[in-house]
Amino acid sequence: MASSSSLHLSQALLARAVYLHGSSSDRVSLSTASTLSSFPSFSGLKTLSSSASSSSSNSGSGSVSSRAPRRVGSVVRATAVETLDKTTEASLVEKSINTIRFLSIDAVEKANSGHPGLPMGCAPMGHILYDEVMRYNPKNPSWFNRDRFILSAGHGCMLQYALLHLAGYDSVQEEDLKSFRQWGSKTPGHPENFETYGIEVTTGPLGQGIANAVGLALAEKHLAARFNKPDSEIVDHYTYVILGDGCQMEGISNEACSLAGHWGLGKLIALYDDNHISIDGDTEIAFTENVDKRFEALGWHVIWVKNGNTGYDEIRAAIKEAKAVKDKPTLIKVTTTIGFGSPNKANSYSVHGSALGAKEVDATRKNLGWPYEPFHVPEDVKKHWSRHTPEGAALEAEWNAKFAEYQKKYPEEATDLKYIITGEFPAGWEKALPTYTPESPADATRNLSQQNLNALAKVLPGLIGGSADLASSNMTLLKMFGDFQKGTPEERNVRFGVREHGMGAICNGIALHSPGFIAYCATFFVFTDYMRAAIRISALCEAGVIYVMTHDSIGLGEDGPTHQPIEHLASFRAMPNILMLRPADGNETAGAYKVAVLNKKRPSILALSRQKLPQLPGTSIEGVEKGGYTISDNSSGNKPDVILIGTGSELEIAAAAGEELRKEGKAVRVVSFVSWELFEEQSAEYKESVLPAAVTARVSIEAGSTFGWQKIVGSQGKAIGIDRFGASAPAGKIYKEFGITKEAVIAAAKELS
């Protein structure tokens, strides 16, 4: 993916040859003009009702706009439009929509697994978005200025695969549709950006997608405010979402949508598939709230399309209206029939998550008048959609030309924007990381983290983030910037409010918007529990979000067990593709940030202390990069009497115990084990040099669950930790009562060696 996100300067050069008036203002005017002209049926429609559509039968025929609704003028496009007369087009739109339906039906049927109901109901909006509304380049799905589309109701992924296939994305060929949900295919059971080029994020767990979309729209608004110039709107795209009842019920969507309203994300347009069916049956059994009113309360513009099945013009008009509302996100409630076209299963939960069955597939073919073999795309539909390849290339070329102009006029801004677009790092960025000596003042790692964040903000143009209403506790404010707000979107301190889950998913969206974004977010470590589903998606979808998690143990003291993490370190060490880092002091915090920034496809969690910690001799950035390393040792021949292992705030305790044991004549190695995952990746030789197999006398100390530590200390070693909930009291008292002490380490070491 990263390689394709480069700027394609050769294409840009080509574009300048094709476009006679390649000035940076051209695309804007062309785009505006064509946006207006491409919706011929938008003649002042204000109230959208189903009667606005001239068709209504459930055979699927519907009125359509009279001209090919393409939105960007170009030689290639104009030709495509002119070859379609009105009649052809009306039937073609219908045919295209049914193609989407049957590709979905056929793929689910062949796999005998999947969710046909949503694609059948949402095919009209899918068609209109991908064929008429959205700007993208199928041959370069990561073209920077593309419109983003998120299927938040990810189980309906066949909708998107069918659309990508028709639109000419190489990632979804006919054979991919035929191997839907099979081992190694590009068409997994839910949309996965890391498997299928053209998918923006990973959805399926409900509510994540709409929250990701808020992040994508935030990213666009931020970049546009930061980089656009009066003579060049170099950043300018929409974010479209389809979400369902399930997404609406999840709390995360309310969190994210409340923020979207607060921030006034006018280019976020969410189409809500209002089909009244969830897995357990009619939504009446559990979902009777007034969604429209709730979204109005959240500050959204709300439109209701009453006939989402065949009222294509209603859908078009709604999208036009949504685009015209610049200061609010829009929710378009599109009332549809799940499984539209299936004579016996439409409008029932049975069509939600199972194949229709051969008999019902036949009945649906008859009902919708579809004479074709499975997986067949009619030639005229194919031809119709084929325009997107040249048009997409032209769009990108046009933008590239524009960028070339921009770069000439605004070289500094262009450089920063390019870093964000490509994900390359400014040379020497890591030199900005602060360094510490044992003489540097003791400090909490949350404060040291803030020093690092502020140092990095100066050199990393894509660093952006904030806290869930704990900025002053998590120490995450970037002092050189103001708040990202509706009126100041160019700023970089994001105020998420007390919305951890939404925050995590929004950061996933930011991170996946462009490779150079480094999104960070913060709360107390224990509240990763609130956002764990989003963190897992970060790990799965390769979004390199940095989770700044402070108050990382009983060391937070008086707030008590509800606020004291115990099992959290273990729970993330068990999670695939994530780095769990627990730095012990300034140098280790800098190392943790270096690792976190460099790991663009792996999120990092930094567990940071509330309490002050000394700057320890022997710690280093390089050490952190290896995950585990020796910070002090008085043994020789790689044969210490005992190895003491600590992480974070307990490394100090291990070091102090080591000092004392050495005074008593022991050969003691003290090891910092800041990241298990990074250590695991080192060579066997290196690992042996730190933890020699022959030395079984090992003591670990960490103010958290001992679960998992047996792997490190071995069957004969001793893991000192906390296997109960915490307590409310001053931190020092809890450490003592729980036996997280130097004395305990010394006693264990003596017992073992």
Task: Using the Cα atoms of residue 308, residue 311, residue 315 and residue 317 in order, give the sign of their dihedral.
Answer: negative
Q: Per-residue string for binding with its own copies, 305-334, x by CB under 8 A? A: ------------------------------
Q: Which is nearer to its own copies, 50 or 682 (CB)?
A: 682
Pick from 73, 156, 189, 627: which binds its own copies (CB under 8 A)? 189
What is the nearest approach in angstroms of its own copies to the Cβ of residue 43?
Answer: 32
Cα distance between residue 192 and residue 198, in whole Å:
10
Pick from 230, 487, 576, 665: which binds its own copies (CB under 8 A)? 576
Tokens encoding 300: 């959204």
Q: Which is nearer to its own copies, 216 or 505 (CB)?
A: 505
Task: Check residue 258 for interaction with its own copies (CB under 8 A).
Answer: yes
Task: Check residue 111 for interaction with its own copies (CB under 8 A).
Answer: yes
For 549, the enclosing helix (H) or strand (E) is strand 546-550
Task: Check residue 571 for interaction with its own copies (CB under 8 A).
Answer: yes
Pick from 75, 366, 725, 751: which binds its own copies (CB under 8 A)? 725
What is the nearest approach in angstroms of its own copies to the Cβ of residue 563?
Answer: 6
Task: Check residue 251 for interaction with its own copies (CB under 8 A).
Answer: yes
What is the nearest approach in angstroms of its own copies to the Cβ of residue 383?
Answer: 32
Residue 74's closest CA among 373, 353, 389? 389
Site for its own copies in 370-389 (CB under 8 A): none
CB 214 within 8 A of CB 266: no
CB 521 within 8 A of CB 493: no
Length of the chain: 753
Cα–Cα distance list, 459 to 29, 384, 430, 463 (Å): 35, 47, 9, 9
What is the nearest approach in angstroms of its own copies to the Cβ of residue 250?
Answer: 6
Task: Check residue 724 for interaction with its own copies (CB under 8 A).
Answer: yes
What is the nearest approach in angstroms of its own copies to the Cβ of residue 204?
Answer: 4
User: What string of H, E and C letters represents the secondary structure of 375-429?
Assistant: CCCCHHHHHHHHCHHHHHHHHHHHHHHHHHHHHHHCHHHHHHHHHHHHCCCCCCH
What is the nearest approach in angstroms of its own copies to the Cβ of residue 328?
Answer: 12
Q: Which is nearer to its own copies, 26 or 483 (CB)?
A: 483
Rounded to the nearest 10°, the torsion over CA 730, 732, 738, 743 is -170
The 8-class DSSP code of residue 229 comes to B
Number of residues that bind its own copies (CB under 8 A): 111
Task: Check residue 357 for interaction with its own copies (CB under 8 A).
Answer: no
Q: Which is nearer to its own copies, 307 or 571 (CB)?
A: 571
Pick from 60, 246, 509, 555: which binds its own copies (CB under 8 A)? 246
Site for its own copies in 155-184 (CB under 8 A): 181-184
Task: Check residue 746 for interaction with its own copies (CB under 8 A).
Answer: no
Pick from 2, 17, 78, 286: which binds its own copies (CB under 8 A)? 286
Cα distance between residue 708 and residue 723, in whole Å:
12
Interface with its own copies by CB under 8 A: which range of 83-91, 158-166, 215-223, 711-719?
A: 711-719
500 annotated active-site:
yes
Q: Per-residue string for binding with its own copies, 521-560, x by CB under 8 A? A: -----xx-xx-xx--xx-xx----------------xxxx
Tokens encoding 174: 């006919």
Interface with its own copies by CB under 8 A: which range of 246-254, 442-450, 635-643, 664-672?
A: 246-254
Number of other residues whose CB lies within 10 A of the CB of residue 175? 11
Tokens encoding 349: 């939960």
Pick from 290, 437, 636, 683: which binds its own copies (CB under 8 A)? 290
Intra-chain end-to-end CA distance of the chain, in Å: 52
Cα–Cα distance list, 299 to 260, 270, 274, 281, 294 (Å): 8, 14, 20, 30, 9
Pick from 138, 188, 392, 648: which binds its own copies (CB under 8 A)? 188
CB 520 within 8 A of CB 548: yes
Task: Check residue 497 for interaction with its own copies (CB under 8 A).
Answer: yes
Rounded to the nearest 10°, the torsion over CA 447, 451, 454, 455 is -160
What is the nearest approach in angstroms of its own copies to the Cβ of residue 197?
Answer: 16
Site for its own copies in 629-668 (CB under 8 A): none
Cα distance between residue 22 and residue 400, in whole Å:
10
CB 434 within 8 A of CB 590: yes
Of the residues 220, 500, 542, 588, which is catalytic?
A: 500
Task: Check residue 490 for interaction with its own copies (CB under 8 A).
Answer: no
Residue 446's closest CA among 476, 478, 491? 476
Interface with its own copies by CB under 8 A: which range of 141-149, 233-241, 441-449, 496-504?
A: 496-504
Rounded to the nearest 10°, the torsion over CA 550, 553, 557, 559 is 70
Give the residue carrying structure tokens 């069957």: 715
Q: Which is nearer to its own copies, 540 or 656 (CB)?
A: 540
Interface with its own copies by CB under 8 A: which range of 42-50, 53-61, 215-223, 276-284?
A: 276-284
Pick from 3, 57, 87, 288: which binds its own copies (CB under 8 A)? 288
Number of other residues whose CB lies within 10 A of the CB of residue 664? 10
Task: Check residue 245 for interaction with its own copies (CB under 8 A).
Answer: yes
Pick from 67, 294, 382, 601: which binds its own copies (CB under 8 A)? 294
Interface with its own copies by CB under 8 A: which range of 132-140, 312-320, 325-333, 702-710?
A: 702-710
As annotated, the active-site residues are 500
